[in-house]
């Protein structure tokens, strides 16, 4: 809250913005997303939580951390399907943002109409090539953090994911 010549300006009256949580696999992106969303829920914000529909590792109806912290979520393949529904929420949390082809357009549109948009996503592939859709969010975002994981060979911080199988995707 700020006082400009005895006028109280509440932070809930500010414009929308985009927050990005980047990092490799097992860096705690979903854990951080859940922490932020719970904080907004405590502050009486209505939160729309979105997960990628093809990510069914733990649940089809929740985002989940690897240690099974969960929050109920709506499962979709394309964010644009939720535009009308999103208008009823002040905060939008998107898990696995790298999988949504329209994450940039959707996030910018929602922020421009006053929504707080939080995107948790991989920033690059195991080949250390950027996911262009999520990297395009960076100049639009008010906040960007990059988490690290732990290298299981040297036990130092790891800033990218290393593929250990023979898959190519």
- Point out the residues that are catalytic: 96
Q: Which residues pair with 165 in a beta bridge?
A: none
- The pair phi, psi for residue 26, each rounded to 5°, is 65, 30
Residues 6+ apart with CB under 8 A from 135: 123
Give me the half-sphere count of Cα atoms (radius 13 Å) on the Cβ side of residue 130: 8
DSSP state of 15: P
């Amino acid at each position: 809250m700020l006082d400009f010549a005895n006028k109280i300006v509440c932070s809930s009256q500010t414009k929308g913005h985009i927050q990005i949580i980047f990092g490799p696999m097992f860096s705690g992106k979903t854990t951080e997303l859940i922490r932020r969303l719970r904080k907004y829920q405590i502050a009486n914000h209505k939160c729309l939580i979105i997960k990628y529909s093809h990510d069914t590792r733990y649940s089809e109806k929740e985002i989940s951390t690897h240690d099974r912290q969960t929050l109920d979520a709506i499962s979709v393949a394309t964010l644009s399907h939720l535009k009308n529904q999103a208008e009823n929420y002040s905060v939008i949390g998107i898990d696995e943002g790298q999988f949504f082809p329209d994450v940039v357009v959707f996030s910018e549109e929602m922020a421009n109409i006053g929504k707080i948009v939080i995107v948790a996503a991989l920033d690059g592939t195991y080949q250390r090539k950027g996911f262009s859709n999520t990297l395009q969010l960076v100049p639009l975002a008010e906040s960007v953090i990059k988490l690290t994981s732990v290298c299981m060979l040297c036990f130092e911080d790891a800033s990218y994911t290393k593929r250990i199988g023979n898959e190519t995707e």
